Amino acid sequence: MNGALPIRPEWDRLYETAAAQEGHFTTQQAAEAGYSSQLLLKHVRAGRVARVRRGIYRLVHFPAGEHEDLAVAWLWSERSGVFSHGTALALHDLSDVLPGRIHLTLPAEWRRRRLRAPGGVVIHHAEIPPGERVWFGAVPVTSPRRTLADCAREPVSPDLLRQAARQALRRGLVVQGDLSEVERALGPFGGIAV
């Protein structure tokens, strides 16, 4: 197809795209499946599709997912963001952290963009190589090692950071050598072993 619109809209293609993203899709993805803005609006008016935010839609009858908010934030980031920091701790089930906001790391080059982050989303900027990201359902998240290092550099409670490091070690998600930044951050508080 080489980027050209299909002659006819392909509902199955749009559905397949949305199904891999908790029922959500972007205007661009709809266009790639043959849906013009006018046709998309027709489906919104008919109740088959709902507009979630500018440029992001949801199939109305798709089963609700537990992490739809993450899928929407990831699509907002043009699928360039990686969930990190406290959000990644929670997704990896490390510590008792209950993040009040979603932490999303965007590529460093995005610093120059004038962005208005969605409500409840904290933006970080850094390069996260493929080896430092894993998939959690429909979205990418920093690996446990990277997550702990990121949290060691941020104002995360020493107790939560220690608990997360211990759980990651116990579950075999990291080895002691992966935790140098965590050790440095927890040094004034007695280290990981306290």
Hey, where are the domains in the chain? 11-59, 78-189
| pTM of this prediction exceeds 0.85 | yes
31-71: per-residue pLDDT in tens? 999 999 999 999 999 999 999 999 999 999 999 888 899 99
Which of 77, 133, 127, 134 shows the shortest CA–CA distance to 102? 77
96-119: per-residue pLDDT in tens? 888 889 999 999 888 887 778 888
Q: Exposure pattern of 114-149 as b/e (b: 16+ CB <10 Å)?
A: eeeebeebbbbeeebeeebbbebebbbbbbbbbbbb
Q: Rounded CA gap, 85 and 141, in Å? A: 9
Q: Give the amino acid at 190.
A: G
pLDDT at 184: 92
Q: Rounded CA gap, 52 and 68, in Å? A: 11
